Structure 1
Amino acid sequence: MNTETRVRKVLDEWSTEARVPPGLADRALGRRTGRRHAKAVLVVAVAVLVVATGVMVGIRRDLAPGRPVDTSLHIDTTDAPPKRLVAAGRVALSAYRTLRVSGKKVVSTWYLYNPRSGGYQKLPWAWLAVAPGMRQAAVLDGPLPSARVGIIDMDRQTIRWIGLKAAAGGLAWSPDGRRLLVTTYATDPDANYRKGTGARTGFIVVDPRSGQAHFHSLLFDPGNGNGRQDLGWSRDGSLIWAPTMNFDPPTKLFYDLNGVRRPAPAHEADSLEEAEISPNGRLIAVHGGASPGLSIVDTNGRTVSRPPVMQLVAWTDDTHVIAVTCDLARCGGPRTLSYRYVLMSIDGKTSVPLTGYKTLATVGSWDPVFTHR
C-alpha cells in the first residue's frame, strides 16, 4: 500500500476532530511505501515526508563483510529538503523527490546524491532508484511509462541506456545490487487512482551489466485502489512481491521471477511499516495486528517496545531506527502538524535529530529515499 493511501486514511480520521487525537504516534499513517511503508503525515496534494544532513557519529554495521563501510552519522537540522548527505549507520538518504499535483496526477522532481559534491543534484528523469552501496542508480525518462531504463554511475557521473520490450513505470534494485526489477505499465501509474482501473502489466528483471532483460506478465490487483502498484524484492532477493491494500497481514503477495505465486518468506508479509525486519531478523516494526498501534515486536509477536514516534522508517543497526517524530508544540492538526526524522534507540529513550521540521502546510513537500550504503 503506498503513502498516498495511508495519508488518506489518517486525514479521514482527523477530519472529524478539531485536534489531533491522543496517541497520534500509534495511529498516524497506519506507510508504507511501499516502501512500503506510519510515514510522517503527508498529503499528496500538499506535503510529503522529510529528511536531512550534516555532522558525524558512528554506528556499526556489517552489510558487506571484508569491505569497510562508512557508518558515520550526517545530519542537517536546518535544510529541508537537504543540501548535504544525510546518513545513519547502515543507511543513507540517497535521493529524494519533490512533489506537486497537476490535475489528478502527482508529478515528481528527483534529486540524487552526488558523491563529488556531497550534496544532491536535480535530475531531469521521471523516476529513480538507487542501488545498495550507492554507486549506481537507475532512472526512467518521461513521460511514463518509459521504453528504456538508464543506469547511472554515481562516481563517474555517466549514464547508459537499456531498451525495454515493455513500458516501465517503477524501479527496484535487488538487495545485492546486481539486478534491477522494472515494473511495467500500460499507462502512467501516477495518473490513475480509480479502484479496478490499475495499469500494471508485469515486470522485467534487468541485468545492468549485460543489458539482458526478460519480461513476465503480472497484472494489476483490481482490489487495490492505487494506480501505482510497484513490485519489490524479498530480503534475500530470491522472490519479488506485490503490494496489497491490507493494513494487516498479508501486506504483500510473493512471486518467483517467472511470476508464479509463492508463499511469503517468514514475517516478510507481516508489516506495513517501512522499517520492516531488523538486520538480524529478530525484530519487526509493525502497526496494528496482534500488537495494536506502532510497536517493535519479536518474531513470536511479543512486544519489545512502543517507540513514541509516528513512523519507523529504516533500521540503522539492530538496536537503532530512523523514525518520524512530531513537534509536540505543533501537533494540533493536519494544517499545523510539524514533523522530522530522528535516529532513535528502539526503546525510544535516546534520539538524535536528523532533519529540521517540516509543516504540512509548507509548499514544496519532499519524499526521501533511504538506501543501504
Structure 2
Amino acid sequence: MTTRELRKTLEEWAREARVPADLADRALRAGGRRRRSAFLALPAAATCAVVLAVALAVTRAGSAPSPVAVQPRDEVIRLAPAHEPPDKVTAGRSSVGSVLADTRDSPPRKMIAAGRWAVSAYWTSEWRKSGPDLRVRGRTWYLLDPVTATYDETEWGFLDVSPGLRYAAVLEKGLPVRRIGVFDMETREVRAWIPMDRPVGGVAWSPDGKSLVATAYTRHPDEEAVPDGAGQRVIESSRTGFYVIDVATATAGEFHPMALDFVDNSNPRRDFGWSDDGMLIYEWDLSPRHKVFYDLNGTPHAAPSDYVVTESKAGVSPDGTLLAGRDGLPTKVTERATGKVVGRQRVLQLLAWADDDHLIALGCAGKCGNEFANGLVLVTVDGKETVSLSANPARTRSWEPLFTLR
C-alpha cells in the first residue's frame, strides 16, 4: 500500500468513527518523520504502528458520547518541525546524508542529493515573444516527489521548496498572479491558497519553513528587451515591493513598497530572499557579489554580524572555517582565518557545501567532450575525488537546479 493510499484509507476510517478529519495527517506525519530518513518508502514497522494507532483511536471514539468537533482542513497548516540538516555525506540510500545520483537522464528523472542538500526541483526554459521588441522567459518546473524519489513535471509558473522537502510554495502560470499555493509534496495536493492584494511573481521560504517572502510585480518578472545588434537592451524591473506571509495560517501581512534605486541591479527579476537567521531579507547585487539587507518592513539594514561577503554560491562551509572561491576552472577553497588555499578543484563553479569536506559543484567527473559538457558533481575540498551526480548535458536540454536543505 502506498503512502497516498494509506492516507486515503485512514481518512475514510476517521470520518466513519467521527474523529478529527486530520487524524490521518497526524498519524502519517509521525511515520513521515521516520520515513523521510529513508526517502523512498515507509518502513513496514512504521506502517504497522500507524494502523495500530488509528485502530485504537477508532475504538475509543466509537464509545464517545458525542461527536468530536472537526476543524476546517485548511485553517491551519501543520508544518514539519524545524529542519536539522545532516552533518556528513554518507553512503547508502537509507541514510539521511546519502549520495543520490542520476547519471543517465538529462534533465534528471531520479532524485539528486548529497549530504545537507537535495535538488528539490529544477526548471527548463524557452523564450517567447511578448510584445514589440520584448520577450518572456517561460519556465517549465519539475518538482521532487519525496515518496517516489523522482521528479514530476508541474503546471506551475514559479515555485520554491521548504527546508525538509515537505511543502512547495507555488505560483500559477501567467505571472504575476494574485494567489500563492502551499503544495504538499507528499500528498501532491494544494493545502491552501493565499490571496494577495497585489500580483506577485516570486516567492521564497524562510530558513525555519514557517514564513514566505513574496515579491510583487506589475508585469511578468522575466520579461526583457529583445537583444539588438548592439547587445542587450535593458528595461526597468516592474517590482513594487514585498509581503511576508505566515504559512501556518495562510495569511499575508502588509504590503511593503520598495524602490528600485537601492541596488545596482539591471535584472528585471529582482526577488527577495532570507538571511540565514531568518531575521532579514536581502536582494542580490550584481557586482561585487554581495547581498543588500533590509528588515521585514523594507528598511535598509546592516548585514548580520556573522555575514561574509563571498564570490561563490557555496560561500562559507557549515563549520564556518572555509570559504569557497570564485567561479572559473580551477576553483579553490581557502581557510578563512589565514587566507591559505587548502584545496583546488577541477570544476567550474562551487554551488553548495554538502558537508565540511565535500562540495556540490558544476563540473566533470572523468572525460568530457568539451568544456561545456558539465553536470553536477560531488567534489572533495582537496580536489582529489570527484563523483558525478547528474549526466553531462552537452547535447541535451539545459536545466537549472533548485537546492534545498533536506
Query: The TM-score by the shorter chain falls in which range?
Result: 0.7 to 0.9
| 1:64-143 paired onto structure 2 within 5 Å | 70-103=96-129, 104-143=135-174
Tell whether 2:382 aligns with 1:347: yes
- Letter of the aligned partner of 2:376 in structure 1? Y
Which residue of 2 is the match for residue 245 of structure 1? 286
| In structure 2, C-alpha distance between the alignment counterparts of 1:114 and 1:105, rounded to whole Å | 28
Identity between Structure 1 and Structure 2 (%): 38
C-alpha contact (below 8 Å) 2:202/2:215 kept by paired residues? yes
Tell me the C-alpha RMSD between the 2 structures.
2.5
Mean CA deviation greater in 223-232 or 258-267: 258-267
Tell whether 2:333 aligns with 1:296: yes
C-alpha contact (below 8 Å) 1:195/1:223 kept by paired residues? no
| In structure 1, C-alpha distance between the alignment counterparts of 2:355 and 2:174, rounded to whole Å | 38
Which residue of 2 is the match for residue 219 of structure 1? 259
Measured after TM superposition, the shift of residue 301 of structure 1 is 6.3
Tell whether 2:404 aligns with 1:371: yes
Q: Given the superposition, is the C-alpha separation of residues 308 and 266 from structure 1 closer, same or farther in structure 2, using an over 3 Å criterion?
A: farther
| 1:1-373 paired onto structure 2 within 5 Å | 60-61=86-87, 70-103=96-129, 104-159=135-190, 160-192=192-224, 194-195=233-234, 197-214=236-253, 215-221=255-261, 223-246=264-287, 248=288, 251-266=290-305, 268=307, 270-287=309-326, 294-300=331-337, 302=339, 303-326=341-364, 329-331=368-370, 337-359=372-394, 362=395, 364-373=397-406
Q: Given the superposition, is the C-alpha separation of residues 318 and 276 from structure 1 closer, same or farther in structure 2, using an over 3 Å criterion?
A: same
Tell me how many residue pairs correspond in the alignment: 301
Q: Which consecutive unaligned segments of at least 5 residues does structure 2 have? A: 1-39, 41-84, 89-93, 130-134, 226-232
| In structure 1, C-alpha distance between the alignment counterparts of 2:306 and 2:344, rounded to whole Å | 19
| In structure 2, C-alpha distance between the alignment counterparts of 1:197 and 1:293, rounded to whole Å | 35
| In structure 1, C-alpha distance between the alignment counterparts of 2:309 and 2:171, rounded to whole Å | 31
- Letter of the aligned partner of 1:171 in structure 2? V
Measured after TM superposition, the shift of residue 331 of structure 1 is 2.8
Q: Given the superposition, is the C-alpha separation of residues 268 and 308 from structure 1 closer, same or farther in structure 2, using an over 3 Å criterion?
A: farther
Q: Cα deviations across residues 272-304 of structure 1 (Å, max 9, x unaligned)?
A: 42212222222222318xx99743233346033
Q: Given the superposition, is the C-alpha separation of residues 173 and 272 from structure 1 closer, same or farther in structure 2, using an over 3 Å criterion?
A: farther
Measured after TM superposition, the shift of residue 109 of structure 1 is 0.4
Q: Which has the higher contact order (CA 8 A, sep 6+)?
A: 1
C-alpha contact (below 8 Å) 1:99/1:364 kept by paired residues? no
Relative to the length of structure 2, the TM-score reads 0.69
Q: Given the superposition, is the C-alpha separation of residues 227 and 266 from structure 1 closer, same or farther in structure 2, using an over 3 Å criterion?
A: same
| In structure 2, C-alpha distance between the alignment counterparts of 1:316 and 1:181, rounded to whole Å | 26
C-alpha contact (below 8 Å) 2:165/2:185 kept by paired residues? yes
C-alpha contact (below 8 Å) 1:96/1:112 kept by paired residues? yes
| In structure 1, C-alpha distance between the alignment counterparts of 2:370 and 2:298, rounded to whole Å | 44
Q: Cα deviations across residues 228-274 of structure 1 (Å, max 9, x unaligned)?
A: 1111111111111111111x35x210111111111122564612422
C-alpha contact (below 8 Å) 1:175/1:233 kept by paired residues? yes
**Equivalent residue of 1:176, what SS?**
coil
- Letter of the aligned partner of 2:282 in structure 1? W
Measured after TM superposition, the shift of residue 69 of structure 1 is 7.1
**Equivalent residue of 2:325, what SS?**
strand
Relative to the length of structure 1, the TM-score reads 0.75
Q: Which has the larger radius of gyration?
A: 2
Q: Which consecutive unaligned segments of at least 5 residues does structure 1 have? A: 1-53, 63-67
